[in-house]
Chains A and B, each alone.
Chain A
Amino acid sequence: MAVNKRSKPLSGLVCLAPAGVLLLTWEALACWKGSPLFPPFSAVARQFYALLVTQGSLWPHLAVSLGRVTAGFVLGSAAGLLAGVLIGWNRLAAVSLGPLVSIFYPIPALGWIPLLMIWVGLNEALPVLIVFICCFFPVLYNTVSGIRSVDVGQIRAARTLGASELQILCRVVLPLSLPSIFTGLRLEAGMAWRAIIAAEMIAVPTGIGVLMMKAESLILVDAIMVCMAVLSLMCFAFEKAIGYFEQKYTRWLEGRP
């Protein structure tokens, strides 16, 4: 027990120390150089406070980006899950749809932007669609892989006990696929934010990505860094949220009640 008590603050120190060293080095280097293109950490922190608290001008952009990411993430993940279940569980669907998925999967989400700009136009649907595509394929792949990795013995046991195919899918196969599905969701929670920033920079007039482009045109390096920090925090928050649900619904992996 004594070892545990001592190791907690120690591990906290080990985590924070590199970040502290980085910030101090950054501050020292920036003060020494004195260039507006490389502002010190303290200036970025002041700008962060201004954009989020005193002026609050970052909130509307953040809200818009958050809405787009949430919509794209939920729709893309749901569609990926449904398609994954279909392909993973139904042999005919696997044979017929599998090759199509293999053709489209390697195209990066951002690669769709030119085509979608022509088809959809420069409007709200475009960034949502980019996030949708970004989430759809990885969730699909992880769902298929999760379903296929379920031990056939579990399925046989359920079948012998009298479960129908739908009951086997819903009560046995899908719950057992959750660890794999959550891995896909967790990865895409971060990727969705990276994709939305790129889409906003190119295609729409609002959002964090737009704010970054505006800051770039005015050479406001500290504002760009604030946007990057917000982006990082949002990725982190999304991944943590998914991680929370993952832990909640897969606690049986550790045998904990």
Chain B
Amino acid sequence: MTFVELREITNSYCLDRVNLQVPDGELLVLMGPTGSGKTTLLNVIAGLEEYRGSVLFDGRPVDGTAPGRRNIGYLFQGNNLFPHMDVYSNIAFGLKVRGAGSAEIAERVEKLMDMFEISGLRNRFPAGLSGGERQRVALARALAISPDVLLLDEPTNSLDYRTSRRLRAEFRKWQKRLGITTVYVTHDCSEAEQMADRIAVMEQGRIVRTGRPEDILRFFAETEDMA
């Protein structure tokens, strides 16, 4: 488990002096309107965007560390499963490129497929999966490398309401079970309420408010009433 800290994160086109702390094992929901910088902030944590300021894991700066060495599990918006690999190979990819042995890979992948109830899909390609199945595979792939931090970018965005609700509950259950520090992006208030230990609200590249879900949602309700 890892304590994530962002200090004065700024980049040229989106983020403006963002400061944020995510304690060990917490699921922080990052909310905000489209274009507020949520995805860019996840990319900064993952090392995929250039930035000024500092990202620290357990107090150690990881700036300049390549994305693959930050040990992050990232579920991208649209999941980005590799379309030319079957489910098994998708999940095994991170372990293979890190040089894990085939026995270790098989054991880990089988365990994850059991956990996410996707064992029956092992030989299927992403094009033949439903939206919910794809997200499960993508999450299994992100977790296969035993990441220290998990980043989820609107993981239920493209799903129907029922699948989305069920998957959220499962995500939450898995996250609690693994105790992994997680940053979860959404712009949906009900999703944020269902998932969050804490919510951070972004607007125009800045964190404008952080707090417990009930406080943040009450604040939203009050400001809406006032408007």
> Residues of A with Cβ closer than 8 Å to B?
151, 153-154, 156-164, 167, 171-172, 175-176, 178, 250-257
- CB nearest neighbor in A for B48: A156
The answer to the question of B196 belonging to the interface, with a C-beta cut-off of 8 Å to chain A, is: no
The answer to the question of B128 belonging to the interface, with a C-beta cut-off of 8 Å to chain A, is: yes
Cα distance, A35 to B123, chains bound together (Å): 63
- Give chain B nearest CB distance to A153 CB in angstroms: 4
- Give chain B nearest CB distance to A167 CB in angstroms: 5
- CB nearest neighbor in A for B138: A157
Also in contact, A151 and B80, with CB within 8 A (given A160-B68, A160-B72, A167-B97): yes
Give how many A-B residue pairs fall within 8 Å (CB-CB): 82
Neighbour of B80 across the interface among A153, A163, A255, A257, CB < 8 A:
A153
Main secondary structure of the interface of B (DSSP, over half): loop
Interface residues of B in 45-77 (CB under 8 A from A): 46, 48, 66-70, 72, 74, 76
Neighbour of B48 across the interface among A160, A161, A175, A256, CB < 8 A:
A160
The answer to the question of B82 belonging to the interface, with a C-beta cut-off of 8 Å to chain A, is: yes
Q: Which residues of B contact A158 (CB under 8 A)?
A: 82, 93, 97
Which one of B85, B97, B123, B129 has the highest number of Cβ atoms from chain A below 10 Å of its Cβ? B97
Cα distance, A161 to B81, chains bound together (Å): 12
Q: Which residues of B contact A250 (CB under 8 A)?
A: 84
User: Which are the 3 A-B pairs with shortest beta-carbon distances?
Assistant: A255-B128, A255-B127, A162-B68
Neighbour of B67 across the interface among A153, A159, A257, CB < 8 A:
A159
A-B contact pairs, 8 of them (CB 8 A): A153-B78, A160-B48, A161-B141, A162-B69, A162-B97, A171-B93, A252-B126, A257-B124
Neighbour of A252 across the interface among B84, B93, B94, B97, CB < 8 A:
B84
Q: Which residues of A contact B66 (CB under 8 A)?
A: 159
Question: Is A256 in contact with B82, judged by CB distance below 8 angstroms?
Answer: no
Cα distance, A127 to B97, chains bound together (Å): 43
Cα distance, A153 to B80, chains bound together (Å): 6
- Give chain B nearest CB distance to A159 CB in angstroms: 5
Question: Is B48 in contact with A162, judged by CB distance below 8 angstroms?
Answer: no
- CB nearest neighbor in B for A157: B80
Cα distance, A154 to B84, chains bound together (Å): 11
Q: Which residues of B contact A176 (CB under 8 A)?
A: 82-84
Cα distance, A171 to B89, chains bound together (Å): 11
Question: Is A156 in contact with B80, judged by CB distance below 8 angstroms?
Answer: yes
Which one of A154, A157, A250 has the highest number of Cβ atoms from chain B below 10 Å of its Cβ? A157
Cα distance, A153 to B74, chains bound together (Å): 11
The answer to the question of B86 belonging to the interface, with a C-beta cut-off of 8 Å to chain A, is: yes
- CB nearest neighbor in A for B98: A162
- Give chain A nearest CB distance to B79 CB in angstroms: 9
Also in contact, A257 and B82, with CB within 8 A (given A161-B68, A161-B94, A162-B94): no
Question: Is A252 in contact with B125, judged by CB distance below 8 angstroms?
Answer: yes
Cα distance, A140 to B97, chains bound together (Å): 28
Which one of B82, B94, B127 has the highest number of Cβ atoms from chain A below 10 Å of its Cβ? B82
- CB nearest neighbor in A for B77: A153
- Give chain B nearest CB distance to A150 CB in angstroms: 10
Which one of A154, A158, A161, A162 has the highest number of Cβ atoms from chain B below 10 Å of its Cβ? A161
